[in-house]
Amino acid sequence: YDILETYDQWIALLSQIFPESDKAEAISKYSREIYDRIQQKVASLPEEERKKVLFLFQYDETQMVTSGRNFFGQFWCEAVGAVNAAEEVAADNSNAVITMEHVYGWDPDLIFITNFTPTQPADLMGNKVGADDWSTVKAVQNGEVYKLPLGTYRSYTPSSDTPVTLLWMAQKVYPDLFEDVDMTAEVRDYYQELYGVALTDEQIGRMYNPASAGAESFR
């Protein structure tokens, strides 16, 4: 579940198929630069200062599915110097089902919600999903609940959004370490320089504040 490596391989293959649009080297270089930039800031963090992160892959009134060690969430956490709250869950990626009792036991510092579920941060903050009570969870108490970006695809999985999503996540987890990062500028430059796509501030705003409708086609 190394998302950067997976995306590199996808682009390398596409560049072989469409050599006139070969972007493999440039994209790989940018991804590694972002990764190294993050590592320079988080590598020396003491274990006791590393934030505990919980991913909600799917969440509704019937089930809660997270990322254990064998899913994409593990890579995201390690890449930004955080700890996967659910890394003890060894189930495969299709059924890492947990309950509120697990969440209470882990008490994560931050929660990231994917676009594979319509649930929004406000749903946790307001206890709007089933009978679950999130009010005592540290991430909720501190307002550290975020919806992952939705750009070319749902950014939890490998996609062209991966490098900038990694930087965005690092800034959310450790805002003091990445206070100098202007995400709007980073995103705009990335898509313009590597893909020739000129995004407006409004488009970037929608990408980083996605609506619940982004999950509608997922079953």
Q: Would you write out the chain's pLDDT as a tens digit for each of its 219 residues?
A: 777 777 666 666 666 766 666 566 777 788 889 999 999 999 999 999 999 999 999 999 999 999 888 888 899 999 999 999 999 886 565 568 999 999 999 999 999 999 999 999 999 999 999 999 999 999 999 999 999 999 878 888 778 888 999 999 999 999 999 999 999 999 999 999 988 899 999 999 999 999 998 888 665
For residues 87 and 197, what is the distance between their CA atoms, to the nearest angstrom? 37
For residues 27 and 15, what is the distance between their CA atoms, to the nearest angstrom? 11
Q: 111 by DSSP, 3-state: which?
A: strand
For residues 11 and 65, what is the distance between their CA atoms, to the nearest angstrom? 30
For residues 71 and 89, what is the distance between their CA atoms, to the nearest angstrom? 10
Kind and range of the H or E element at 52? strand 52-56
For residues 55 and 41, what is the distance between their CA atoms, to the nearest angstrom? 23
Q: 54 by DSSP, 3-state: which?
A: strand
Kind and range of the H or E element at 102? helix 100-106
* 162 and 6 Cβ atoms separated by less than 8 Å: no
| pLDDT reported for residue 19 | 65
Please, what is the Cα angle at 133 between 131 and 137, to 5 degrees? Answer: 155
- For 43, 50, 169, the CA distances from 46, given in Å and listed in that order, are 9, 7, 19
* Close Cβ partners of 117 (under 8 Å, ≥ 6 residues apart): 56, 57, 58, 59, 60, 215, 218
